Structure 1
Amino acid sequence: MNKNKFLTILFSVAGLLSVASCEDYLEVESLSNTAEKQQFDSVSDTFSALVGVYNSTMGDNTYGQRMNLILTQSGDDLRTSGDYNANDRRGISCFGAIPTNTELIKPFLDTYAGIERANLVIKNIPLSPVYQTGSESDKKLMDRYLGEALTLRAHFYHDLIKNWGDVPFQELPSADLPNLYLAKTDRDIIYDKILDDLLKAETFVPWKSEGNTTSQRISKGAVKGLRARIALARAGYSLRRNPQQMIQGSNPQKYYQIAYDECKDIINSGQHQLNPSYEGLFRSLHTNSQDATNEVIYAIGAFGGNSKTDSKIGYYNGLRHDDTDWKSSGGINAIPVYFYDFTKYDVRRDVSIAIFRVNTTKQQELQTAINWNDGKFRKSWTSITGTSQNLGIDWPLLRYSDILLMFAEADNELHSGPSQDAISAVLAVRQRAYAGNLGQVGTIPTTKNEFFNFIVKERQLEFGGEGLRKYDLIRWNLLETKINETKVKLTQFMNGTGMYANVPEYIFYKKVPYTPANTAQQNVLDIDFYTASGVTKADVFYNPNQSVATPPGYTKVNWRLAMTQPYISGDPIKSYAYYFQPNRKELLPIALDVINSNYNLTQDYGY
């Protein structure tokens, strides 16, 4: 089934499942037993219920904007644009969100709505008459639907835990519960349950090639990859309630082994490979074209041109366009030193970070260092023009490069150092990043601590802007460390010291027409930079200024000079991660309206 057909069905039948949208916490429409049975009395009706579960992953409140682009800020790569406000997206990015923050309630409630829908499917498939009288092929389809529902429920709970810690846990539809006012369940209990569910789901869901599955639908590779990701979270650190500290999960080696085994199965399956073009895999998401290498193992679909099922990916975030044809806002900024975490030979740099904006006349305007945007999503890479905010761009929830790096990380932990297989997995990711310059790949370390630090850095470079970095740093208990390191680096960047001694204070350039068909790297090289004698365009970012006077016809843009102390520290409105507090701000507060609707639910973590 191709993507458009699957999403057309998803969009048209999602409303058939009679579950409330959860305007109030765990509120659910009362279904009669007869109506519930009828929903699952055939394969086709059950599929309608299943796509209702998929529908809960889509739209503004989950993976169309909030869950992937807003709640994920900030790590040491990106931050939300604009000045701090405790009650909106910028409060989250500064670690200063409060329980009345408007971005908190809808992701929480819509995720529970997805859990409710999944619970109905999981409960009723085994009770369906199809299991009693249906054909073997129908029973197999029902098993597949059950596996997909189990996987989606696990995904929903992981989203809740990574943002809010311990949360209420229910495995039954709300109508079957004697009490809807549930207290929090320890996250390790939830993790162990959903890891078991995913192990069960693996037996039901086919590999991509066996099920004619697009990346927008869960395959066995997606089940295994999500299980590996959740196992690493279970093995890692998280902020606990009592004591209120960052504490590692119990028996971590057990969970490293799960991650290792699952990733190895995917690697050995031959179902997924790295796309040889780093940029190409992201462009395919903008054109609804299937990546032939299947690097994107699972993507959250976007469809329908509305806030319920589509996404604002590429409009809210990504390259900023001021022109009317591709109008987009550029709502996420790159932290300037992230640009210099890449080497000049790394093709990921210019894909991940957009150092220019497109002005009203479709020319590239170089931006000051504090105004660069994330660059993996660009409205001009789609066929949609005008002021539309819904672009139908899918969200790459799980990629094969993540499998390779998770495998390498787990291998290193299990064996007190990387095996040759782990080194080879990392090398494959590095070699793609340095396509055309393989001599610059560098040496991959072979001792445990050095290899771990290499993985920490490589994941930053590989997944910038993909909603993983903050949560990686939390599970490694490195969020505080990396925030402090970034502030030191920003100070050095401002002063032109350390590794930034040769970074120019400003850059001179001339505007050039923007050509979206060009590669991201070529777009940068297309800019007419003024360079000193003997300095190439590619090296303009790595050479100090030779002259203060602006050459005739060129525009002067502050590069290193754009960095000021208020950006780094001391300014409660503008400073990076100003409100971060260790052993507190690793998690978000639960929305006040949710707390007020459940007398058994506690806020915790000092909020």
Structure 2
Amino acid sequence: MKKNKFLAILFSVSGLLSVSSCGDYLDVESLSNTSEAQQFDSASDTFSALVGVYNATMGDNTYGQRMNLILSQSGDDLRTSGDYNANDRRGISCFGAIPTNTELLRPFLDTYAGIERANLVIKNIPISPVYKTGSDADKKLMDRYLGEALTLRAHFYHDLIKNWGDVPFQDVPSSDLPSVYVAKTDRDVIYDKILDDLLRAESLVPWRSEGSTTAQRISKAAVKGLRARIALARAGYSLRRSPQMMMQGSNPQKYYQIAYQECKDIINSGQHQLNPSYEGLFRSLHTNTPDATNEIIYAIGAFGGNSRTDSKIGYYNGLRHDDTDWKSSGGISAIPVYFYEFTKYDLRRDINIAIFRVNTSKQEELQTSINWNDGKFRKSWTSITGTSQNLGIDWPLLRYSDILLMFAEADNEIHNGPSQEAINAVMAVRQRAYAGNLGQVGTIPTDKPGFFNYIVKERQLEFGGEGIRKYDLIRWNLLETKINETRAKLTQFMNGTGAYANVPEYIFYKKVAYNKDKTAQQNVSDIDFYTTTGTAKADIFYSPNQSVATPSGYTKVNWRLAMTQPYISGDPVKSYAYYFQANRKELLPIALDVINSNYNLTQDYGY
């Protein structure tokens, strides 16, 4: 089934679900048994209801912008651009969000709306007349729909927990609850429940090759991959309510084993492989074409040109375009030292980080180091021109490279050091990044702490801009450590010391025409950089300045000199992660309207 056909079969859940206000997020209109039963009296009608569940993952409030691009900032790779405000997206990025922050309410509410839709499907499929009188083919379809709904519900709860910690839990429709004023449930209880649900879903959902499943629809690998991700979260650290501190989940080895086995099953299935082109797999998301080797296991779809079902991926984030043909805002900035985590041989550097913007004349205009953007998503890689903000770019929720790295991480924990399989898995990811320069890949450590630290670094390089890094750092209990390390690196960067001793203070360049059909690496290499005698063009970012005078015809751009103390610390408006506090800001506050709507719901975590 093609993406557009699947996503276009939208089911308006207003007949099943009516959230009466933004505050009453569980106050659902009662329905007659007849209307609910009729919605599930055939496989085709049930599929329409299922599409309604998928639909809850889309749009501005979830994976069209807020859940993946705003709530996920900041780690040690990217941050939201602009100056701090406690009541907007920049407040979240600086860890200073307060309960009235405008970005917090709708992601919370819309995720619960998705849970409600999933609960209706999960409840009604087993009691549907299809199971009594339907054909074997229809019964098999209904089982598949049940597995997909279970998986989507697990995904929704994982999103809630990773952002808000303990949350109200319900696994039945709101109309079946004795009271809609539900208190919080411990996250470990929720995790164990949804891990069991996903195990059940594995037996119901087919592999991609068996079910003609595109990346926009859940396959068996998507179920297993999500189960592995949740198991690692369950095994890892999170901010607890009592005591209010970062603590590891109980019995972590049990959950590392789950992640290990699920990832190994996917690896052995032969259903998915690494796309040989790191850039190619992201370009495929812009053109509604499958990536060559099904590396993208599950992508959240986007279509329709509206805020409910489409995405602002590539407009809000990504390469900034000032030209009228591909106008986009570049709302996420790369932390300058992230550029230098990559070596010059790593093909991921120029895809993850856009060091130029496209000006009104469609020329590449080099930016100062504090104005670089994330680069995996680019409006110019789509067929959409003009001022449109909805670009139909799918969000890659789960990739095969993540499976390889999760497998390696779990293997290392289980065996007190990496097996050869784990080393090979990491090496495969690494070798793709160094295609054409395999001699520069380096050596992977074989001791447990060394291998773990290698994975921490490799995941930073592989998943920049994919909404993963902050949550990885939290589950490893490394968020505070990496924020402090990043501040120290930024200080060295500013002063030109340590690892940044040879980073130039400024760079001279000439603008060149932007060509959207060239690779990201070619776009950078096309720029006419001024180099001194004996300096290769590829080394321009790693060579100290030899001259102060601007050469004729060139423009001077501050590189290291753009970094100042207010960016690093001391300025509550400008500084990176200024308001972060360990054992408090690892989680977000719940929106005030939600707290006010439920007398059993507590704020917690110092908010």
User: If the TM-score is normalised by the length of the shorter chain, which range does it land in?
Assistant: over 0.9
Partner of 1:570: helix, strand, or coil?
Answer: coil
Secondary structure of residue in 1 paired with 2:508:
strand
**1:199 equivalent in alignment to 2:170:** no
Residues 24-33 or 501-510, more deviating: 24-33
State the partner residue of 2:484. 484
Report the number of matched residues: 605
How high is the TM-score relative to the length of structure 2? Answer: 0.99
Q: How much has 1:81 moved relative to structure 2?
A: 0.2
In structure 2, C-alpha distance between the alignment counterparts of 1:528 and 1:327, rounded to whole Å: 24
Which residue in the other structure is 1:336 paired with? 336
Indicate the SS of the match to 1:350: helix
Same amino acid, percent of matched pairs = 86
Match of 2:16 among 18, 22, 27: 18
> AA paired with 2:217?
R
1:389-538 → structure 2 map (5 Å cutoff): 389-538=389-538
Counterpart position of 1:154: 154
Tell me the secondary structure at the aligned position of residue 365 of structure 1. strand
The CA distance in 2 between the partners of 1:125 and 1:45, in whole Å, is: 11
Shift of 1:15: 4.4
Q: Distance in 2 between matches of 1:171 and 1:380?
A: 43
Residue 314 of structure 1 is matched in structure 2 by 314
> Which residue of structure 1 lines up, in the alignment, with residue 51 of structure 2?
51
CA distance in 2, matches of 1:535, 1:523: 20
Check whether the contact 1:17–1:49 (CA below 8 A) recurs between aligned residues: no
Matched residue of 2:9: which SS? helix
Cα drift, residue 536 of structure 1: 1.5
Matched, 1:244 2:248: no
Instruction: Give SS of 1:148's match.
Output: helix
1:88-99 equivalent positions in 2, closer than 5 A:
88-99=88-99
2:298 corresponds to:
298
User: Contact (CA 8 Å) 2:295, 2:399: kept in 1 or not?
Assistant: yes
CA contact (8 A) 1:17 1:48 kept: no
Residue 72 of structure 2 aligns to a residue whose secondary structure is coil
Residue 209 of structure 1 corresponds to which residue in structure 2? 209
> Once superposed, what is the RMSD of the aligned Cα atoms?
0.7
Is the Cα–Cα contact under 8 Å of residues 281 and 292 in structure 2 kept in the other structure?
A: no
Say whether the 8 Å CA contact 1:28–1:174 is kept in structure 2.
Answer: yes
CA contact (8 A) 1:17 1:52 kept: no
SS of the aligned residue for 1:101 comes to coil
Distance 1:16 1:113 in 2: 11
Q: Does 1:70 align with 2:38?
A: no
Confirm or deny: 8 A CA contact 2:321 2:327 kept in the other structure: yes
Normalised by the size of structure 1, how large is the TM-score?
Answer: 0.99
Distance (Å, rounded) in 2 between the aligned partners of 1:316 and 1:443: 38
Q: Distance in 2 between matches of 1:58 and 1:429?
A: 29
1:596 aligned partner = 596
1:147-191: CA deviation from partner (whole Å, max 9, x where unpaired): 000000000000000000000000110000010000000000000
Please tell me whether the aligned partners of residues 324 and 386 of structure 1 are also in contact (alpha carbons under 8 angstroms): yes
Contact conserved, 1:16 with 1:48, CA < 8 A, in 2? Answer: no
Q: Aligned residue for 1:104? A: 104
Q: Secondary structure at the match of 1:582?
A: coil
- Alignment partner of 1:79: what SS? strand
**8 Å CA contact retained: 2:60, 2:308:** yes
Contact 1:512 1:526 in 2 (8 A): yes
1:218-255 deviation line (CA, Å, top 9, x unaligned): 00000000000000000000000000000000000000
Deviation of 1:16 after TM superposition, in Å, equals 6.5
8 Å contact kept, 2:503–2:544? yes
Pairing 1:186–2:186 present: yes
Provide runs of 4+ in structure 1 moved above 3 Å. Answer: 14-17
Q: Aligned pair in 2 of structure 1 residues 275, 14: CA closer, same or farther (>3 Å)?
A: farther
Which position in structure 2 is the counterpart of 1:555?
A: 555
Partners of 1:66 and 1:27 in 2: how far apart?
24
Distance 2:26 2:556 in 1: 56
**1:209 positional shift:** 0.2
Partner of 1:325: 325
Determine the C-alpha separation between the residues in 2 that align with 1:104 and 1:169.
Answer: 19
User: SS state of the match for residue 209, structure 1?
Assistant: helix
Question: Residue 345 of structure 1 contacts residue 440 of structure 1 at CA under 8 Å; is this kept in 2?
Answer: yes
Question: What is the CA–CA distance in structure 1 between the aligned matches of 2:446 and 2:29, rounded to whole Å?
Answer: 57
Structure 1 partner of 2:132: 132
Match of 2:350 in 1: 350
